[in-house]
Amino acid sequence: MHFFEYKDQELYCEDTNISEIAGKVKTPFYLYSHATLERHFRVFDEAFRGIDHITCFSMKSNSNGAILKLFSQAGGGVDIVSGGELYRALKAGMSPDKIVYSGVGKTAEEIEYALEADILMFNAESPQEIIRLNEVAGSIGKKARIAIRVNPDVDPQTHPYISTGLKENKFGIDINKSFDEYVKASKMDNIEVTGVSCHIGSQLTRVSPFVDALKKVKELIARLDDSGIKIKNLDLGGGLGVTYNDEKPPLPDEYAAALRENLGGMGLTLILEPGRVIMANSGILVAKVLYTKANEDKNFTVVDAAMNDLARPSLYGSYHSVKPVKMDSTDVINMDIVGPICESGDFLAKNREMASLKQGDLIAVMSAGAYGFAMSSTYNSRPRVAEVMVKGHKYYTIRERETYEDLVKGEIIPDFIK
Residue 312 touches ligand LLP, criterion: CB under 6 A: yes
Total residues binding ligand LLP (CB under 6 A): 24
For residue 317, with 0-12 CB atoms within 10 Å meaning exposed, 13-18 middle and 19 or more buried, which class applies?
exposed
Strand duo 16-17 + 121-124: pairing: unpaired
- Say how many C-beta atoms besides its own lie within 10 A of residue 35's C-beta: 17
Q: Which of 17, 27, 55, 58 binds ligand LLP (CB under 6 A)?
A: 58
Residue 238 touches ligand LLP, criterion: CB under 6 A: yes
- Say how many C-beta atoms besides its own lie within 10 A of residue 51's C-beta: 15
Number of helices (H) and strands (E), helices first, in the chain?
12, 21
- Measured from the CB atom, is 11 or 214 closer to ligand LLP? 214
Q: Which of 239, 250, 252, 339 binds ligand LLP (CB under 6 A)?
A: 239
> For ligand LLP, what does the binding mask look like between residues 361 and 400, x meaning CB under 6 A?
---------xx---x-------------------------
- Measured from the CB atom, is 58 or 308 closer to ligand LLP? 58
Q: How far is CA 128 from CA 122, 173, 181, 406, in A?
A: 14, 11, 10, 38
Q: Which of 2, 34, 53, 276 binds ligand LLP (CB under 6 A)?
A: 276
Residue 63 touches ligand LLP, criterion: CB under 6 A: no
β-pair partners for 306: none
Q: What is the total residue count of the chain? A: 418
Specify the DSSP class assigned to residue 380: G
- Ordered DSSP codes for 314-355: HHH-----EEESB-----EEEEEEE-SSSSTT-EEEEEEEEE
Residue 102 touches ligand LLP, criterion: CB under 6 A: yes
Q: Which of 28, 152, 274, 283 binds ligand LLP (CB under 6 A)?
A: 274
Span of 21-29, 32-40, 114-122, 199-207 interacting with ligand LLP by CB under 6 A: 199-207
Q: Which of 273, 309, 361, 387 binds ligand LLP (CB under 6 A)?
A: 273
Residue 342 a catalytic site member: yes
Q: Which of 83, 156, 172, 275 binds ligand LLP (CB under 6 A)?
A: 275
Q: Whole-number minimum distance, CB 55 to ligand LLP, in Å?
A: 11
Whole-angstrom distance, CA of residue 343 vs CA of residue 273: 35
- The set of residues, in sequence order, having a beta carbon less than 8 Å from that of 61 and lying 6+ positions away, is 275, 276, 278, 279, 280, 369, 370, 371, 374
Residues marked active site are found at 342
**List of residues contacting ligand LLP (CB under 6 A):** 58, 60-61, 79, 102, 162, 164, 199, 202-203, 237-240, 273-277, 312, 316, 370-371, 375
